[in-house]
């Protein structure tokens, strides 16, 4: 039996706000015919503007979506609308899928089998990308290119260190007037030096100038940049995991093949929530997970140009039996889904108290000082206002003592939806920690249903 998703879970899959609105316009049973759910799939026909209805179906295995409409969005409004009427209990169970659904499902199974076969051919850690053993000898041209890049990066970061020293020596009082133009030029030079991670960090510095406490924040950002430049210069003396973190932050890539060749972690992974960010016409989707047995957190990060389909295979609030392969680092978080072994019954995940969460974040930052977000799962917390700032607080403080709490991001305002769901009672909340405060992602109501915040 397929576990039914909530309305919030369905709408969270929408690629944009217009798709959400469109889904709700077709998300009524009266607009659908020939609907059914079974054999791990959901299907139906929706009356469109043409003579023939649009055929939409969902494969719950990964999941995946298909519709005969001309939309390039996935899932489109018809697939989402079909999921909405299913979430409301308006789709009957069926013993067998129609031929057009069965054919699509068979094609997907065949492609999945081929993908698994190719994955079994991924070279091991002792082999190169073509499967040749490292004993066959290095590629002189590749080694030469790598050495040239190391030289360029070293020169670029040495220049960055000198520039930062000059800024601190001159003081920050005139940064609002003079620094933006310097940051643009510095970003360009760092791109030329093949240090894209550092260049991106410099390109974002202008954001701090809009804040009231911008001098302190700018000084902190300069400190992190200097720490990264020094870390790269002294990389040979660093522990291997920290060296991997430094190189990743500088912008050295780790190939998908390398990640998948590392040992995977199999667990029952709770999908805690997701957030989309757009920058330079590119949308980055962050999906946060937590292992039920290991207690380990993970980030699955995908990208797509604005207007193109985003990955929608990880549904907020669901639980999957899967193997995740983690990118190397001192505080490994980003991961790839190496293999999926099916969906599991969804239950509210078990979180931690405020003190444990703060210790977790502290440990993560100790391993990766440049981390600007980290997933957390708080149990038995209540939203509370203190000194004009909202926070998630532990209600179990001793009499006369102030409850511990984690502040929410100041840009969010009052968390009305969370207040409405919790009713002032302790709740479990999944959130994204940032240096400026928590961004709540998901909570669970008294019936255990997931609510997207």
Do β-strands 374-386 and 297-305 pair in parallel, antiparallel, or remain unpaired?
unpaired
**Dihedral sign, Cα of residue 25, residue 28, residue 33, residue 36:** positive
> What DSSP element (H or E) covers 343?
strand 335-344
Does residue 88 lie within any of the structural domains? yes
Same domain, 71 and 157: no
Boundary (domain end) residue, out of 280, 312, 344: 344
- The pTM is what? 0.87
Boundary (domain end) residue, out of 215, 233, 250: 250
3-state secondary structure of 248: helix
Does residue 63 lie within any of the structural domains? yes
Same domain, 246 and 260: no
Boundary (domain end) residue, out of 288, 320, 344: 344
pLDDT at 128: 47
Q: Let me know how many helices (H) and strands (E) the chain has, helices first.
A: 12, 15
Residues found in the chain = 453
Burial class (CB in 10 A: 0-12, 13-18, 19+), 415: buried
Does residue 191 lie within any of the structural domains? yes
Hey, what long-range contacts does 125-131 have (CB within 8 A, 24 or more apart)? Answer: 125/258, 125/261, 125/262, 129/255, 129/257
Same domain, 232 and 264: no
Among candidate residues 47, 11, 10, 50, the one with its CA nearest the CA of residue 31: 47
Does residue 163 lie within any of the structural domains? yes
Same domain, 168 and 151: yes
3-state secondary structure of 435: coil
Does residue 65 lie within any of the structural domains? yes
* Structural domains in the chain (count): 4
Same domain, 240 and 268: no
Does residue 298 lie within any of the structural domains? yes
Residues in the chain with pLDDT values less than 50:
124-134
Among candidate residues 436, 442, 318, the one with its CA nearest the CA of residue 379: 442
pLDDT at 255: 94
Same domain, 377 and 423: yes
Strand order in the sheet with 437-444: 405-407, 389-393, 374-386, 427-434, 437-444, 450-452
Does residue 130 lie within any of the structural domains? no
Same domain, 11 and 33: yes
Same domain, 170 and 220: yes
3-state secondary structure of 120: coil
Give the Cα separation of 316 and 453 in Å (integer).
11
Same domain, 317 and 390: no
pLDDT at 62: 83
Same domain, 244 and 262: no
**Other Cβ atoms closer than 10 A to 312:** 22
Within 234-311, residue ranges assigned H as helices are: 240-250, 256-260
Same domain, 149 and 241: yes
Cα–Cα distances (Å) from 107 to 41, 44, 97, 112, in that order, read 14, 19, 14, 9
DSSP line for 211-224: STTHHHHHHHHHHH
Question: Domain residues for 199?
Answer: 144-250
Same domain, 238 and 263: no
Does residue 156 lie within any of the structural domains? yes
Extract the runs of DSSP E, i.e. beta strands, from 244-308. 265-279, 282-291, 297-305
3-state secondary structure of 125: coil
């Amino acid at each position: 039996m397929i576990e039914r998703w909530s309305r919030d879970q369905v709408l969270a899959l929408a690629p944009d706000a217009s798709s959400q609105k469109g889904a709700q316009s077709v998300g009524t049973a009266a607009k659908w015919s020939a609907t059914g759910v079974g054999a791990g799939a959901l299907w139906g026909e929706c009356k469109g503007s043409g003579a023939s209805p649009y055929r939409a179906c969902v494969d719950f295995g990964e999941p995946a979506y298909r519709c005969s409409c001309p939309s390039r969005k996935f899932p489109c409004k018809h697939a989402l609308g079909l999921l909405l009427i299913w979430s409301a209990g308006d789709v009957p169970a069926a013993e067998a899928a129609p031929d057009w659904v069965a054919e699509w499902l068979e094609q997907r199974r065949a492609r999945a089998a081929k993908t698994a076969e190719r994955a079994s051919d991924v070279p091991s850690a002792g082999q190169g990308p073509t499967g040749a053993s490292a004993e066959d000898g290095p590629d002189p041209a590749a080694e030469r290119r790598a050495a040239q890049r190391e030289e360029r990066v070293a020169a670029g970061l040495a220049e960055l260190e000198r520039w930062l020293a000059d800024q601190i020596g001159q003081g920050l009082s005139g940064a609002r007037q003079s620094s933006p133009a310097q940051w643009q030029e510095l970003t360009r030079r760092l791109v030329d030096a093949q240090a894209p991670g550092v260049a991106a960090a410099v390109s974002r510095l202008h954001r701090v100038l809009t804040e009231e406490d911008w001098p302190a924040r700018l000084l902190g950002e300069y400190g992190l940049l200097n720490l990264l430049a020094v870390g790269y210069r002294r990389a040979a003396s660093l522990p291997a995991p920290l060296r991997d973190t430094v190189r990743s932050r500088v912008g050295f890539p780790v190939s998908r093949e390398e990640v998948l060749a590392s040992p995977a972690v199999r667990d029952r992974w709770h999908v805690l929530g997701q957030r989309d960010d757009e920058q330079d016409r590119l949308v980055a989707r962050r999906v946060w997970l937590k292992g039920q047995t290991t207690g380990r957190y993970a980030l699955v990060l995908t990208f797509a140009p604005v207007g193109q389909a985003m990955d929608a295979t990880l549904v907020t609030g669901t639980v999957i039996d899967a193997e995740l392969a983690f990118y190397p680092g001192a505080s490994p978080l980003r991961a790839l889904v190496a293999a999926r072994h099916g969906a599991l019954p969804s239950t509210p995940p078990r979180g931690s108290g405020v003190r444990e969460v703060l210790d977790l974040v502290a440990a993560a930052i100790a391993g990766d000082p440049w981390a600007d977000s980290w997933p957390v799962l708080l149990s038995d917390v209540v939203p509370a206002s203190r000194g004009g700032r909202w926070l998630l607080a532990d209600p179990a403080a001793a009499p006369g003592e102030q409850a511990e709490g984690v502040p929410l991001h100041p840009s969010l305002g009052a968390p009305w939806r969370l207040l409405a769901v919790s009713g002032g009672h302790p709740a479990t909340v999944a959130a994204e920690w940032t240096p400026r405060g928590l961004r709540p992602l998901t909570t669970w109501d008294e019936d255990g249903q997931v609510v997207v915040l």
